[in-house]
Structure 1
Amino acid sequence: MKRRMIVCDLDGTLLNSSGLVSERTRVAVHRARSAGHVFAIATARPVRDTRHVAVALGNETVAVCGNGSITFDFVRDEVVDYHPLAETHVAEALAVLRGRLPGVRLGAECRLELVLEDSFELPPALSRSARRVPRLEEAIDRHNVGKLMVQLEGTARHYYEGVRRILAGCEVTISADVFCEVMRAGVTKAAALEVMAGRLGFAGDDVIAFGDMPNDLPMLTWAGTAVAVANAHPAVLASADEVTASNDDDGVAAWLERLTGHH
């Protein structure tokens, strides 16, 4: 059996709706690794909110976090790559967002720290590690921002195009329906994974990727095999090579069980 690099998004894909790794999933990942495959995480989450998943999976994990802005090796407990926004882009983006989008709520991932304005609304599972501040501009180190988070009233898919238009020089995407994410131009899960794959001796064709949201599309397009979970966004379902069961029905585990002959 050919060795594969298996790459998996977390929220809505590997994790169930409670934000947890099921026992079936844990066993399936362990068996895939035991069969010689490499398993990696690719998530919009910051490193701090990815660690408990890496631990649940046995900690033998390299993870692309922050939508590709930071790659972290949980085996060595160190940052492998970091691609922050240029300081001038951060200053300009904040000024434009404040000026053009009244009532905007902002957050930022600064290397290993998540900083959110008091008004920024996030589920506890995604914000428990955050430092809360009244106003982002006064609280962050502007040369160390990997990702800006932009929130308005309503769902992110309704205001995504507006944010993308006013921040044309940046990478803008959605991984959850409650905010948009802004990274340095060219920073995506796919770009970070391509570097990781090269280091590990894999080509894109050797990669199996699992995802559910628009921020997964570059990764799914790049990977040799793109698998969507049944609960995925319509654009992801349309672009996938295969569709597995939903995240709450252990779709990733079911697919890996077939790969390793344990179904």
Structure 2
Amino acid sequence: MAAAVKRRMIVCDLDGTLLDSRGMVSERTRSAVRRVQEAGHVFVIATARPVRDTRHVAAAIGGAPIAVCGNGSITFDFAREEVVDYCPLAETRLVKALSVLRDRFPGVRLGAECRMELVLEDSFELAAPLSRSARRVPRLEEALVRHEVGKLMVQLEGTAREYYEGVRALLSGCEVTISADVFCEVMRAGVTKAAALESMAGRLGFGSADVIAFGDMPNDLPMLTWAGTAVAVANAHAGVLASADEVTACNDDDGVAVWLEQVI
């Protein structure tokens, strides 16, 4: 009798990892994910995207997956259509962060994910497909329900790779990271993809050793460090490539699917 296949929790970032450069799920990737689900493994999305920008990807993948969104600030179950966990910034910490940012960077442009709503200052630059549903305001502080901010978005001149370390040093009481070059992201201290996934894994009966994680950017480092098996796509940030247990093909060459086909 053949030995039973060990059940795993497979966690995957979206942009730059599971999705190609057009932001699409290839047929090969869709098929690979479907096969691991049919084999009894649990597939989980872990992304900096908000729930609304993850929904069509979840539909393309199929299987109504659970998604850790907003870099761990909100977890959404697409099967039950409900928020599982939400970890907003403390109001006092948010107020202080906004004050410090305004003082240090007079030209800063700010936005916020408030549970399921996106609020952006008029000056905040974000591609139309990602900002069509945003509520635009002249000044963020005057428009927020402060206990509802899951993720603060900070935009300065240049790319986020150039300035996020400065923002992180300034906001030492918060979690600061980047998932793309257009802005850096500020969450409550301790809020990461890893923290959200650890909570979810415990509820599903998995330990970190049972988890395989795929990623490409610095915001993926906590989950890659936590997971039993960390896989970087070949196009990943240098720090991610250095920390991963294994490297697969790049996102445009279906790297996640290639690894899953060979190993799972």
1:106 corresponding residue in structure 2:
110
Task: State the Cα distance separating 1:258 from its structure 2 match.
Answer: 1.4
1:227 corresponding residue in structure 2:
231
Equivalent runs, 1:130-145 vs 2, <5 Å: 130-145=134-149
Contact 1:45 1:126 in 2 (8 A): no
1:166 and 1:221 map into 2 onto residues whose CA distance is 25
Q: Structure 1 runs of 4+ off > 3 angstroms?
A: none
Task: State the Cα distance separating 1:59 from its structure 2 match.
Answer: 4.5
1:44 corresponding residue in structure 2:
48
Contact 1:169 1:185 in 2 (8 A): yes
1:3 corresponding residue in structure 2:
7
Out of 11, 36, 39, the residue aligned to residue 35 of structure 1 is 39
- 1:145-164 per-residue CA deviation (whole Å, 9 max, x = no partner) reads 00100000101121112111
Between the two proteins, the alignment pairs up a number of residues equal to 260
1:24 and 1:184 map into 2 onto residues whose CA distance is 37
User: Over the residues paired in the alignment, what is the CA RMSD in angstroms?
Assistant: 1.0
1:124 corresponding residue in structure 2:
128
- Give 3-state SS (helix, strand or coil) of 1:192's partner: helix
Q: Which amino acid in structure 1 is aligned with residue 132 of structure 2?
A: R
Q: Which amino acid in structure 2 is aligned with residue 65 of structure 1?
A: C
Out of 202, 206, 216, the residue aligned to residue 206 of structure 2 is 202
TM, length-normalised to structure 1: 0.96
Structure 1 unaligned runs (5+)? none
Out of 210, 213, 216, the residue aligned to residue 220 of structure 2 is 216
1:8 and 1:201 map into 2 onto residues whose CA distance is 19
2:215 and 2:163 map into 1 onto residues whose CA distance is 22
TM, length-normalised to structure 2: 0.96
2:119 corresponding residue in structure 1:
115
Comparing 41-50 and 125-134, the one that deviates more: 125-134
Pair 1:160 & 2:164 matched: yes
1:212 and 1:128 map into 2 onto residues whose CA distance is 26
Structure 2 unaligned runs (5+)? none
1:124 and 1:20 map into 2 onto residues whose CA distance is 17
1:179 and 1:225 map into 2 onto residues whose CA distance is 29
Out of 76, 81, 92, the residue aligned to residue 88 of structure 1 is 92
2:10 and 2:129 map into 1 onto residues whose CA distance is 25
1:186 and 1:105 map into 2 onto residues whose CA distance is 24
Contact 1:19 1:125 in 2 (8 A): no
2:160 and 2:260 map into 1 onto residues whose CA distance is 32
2:128 and 2:11 map into 1 onto residues whose CA distance is 25
2:144 and 2:24 map into 1 onto residues whose CA distance is 30
Pair 1:174 & 2:178 matched: yes
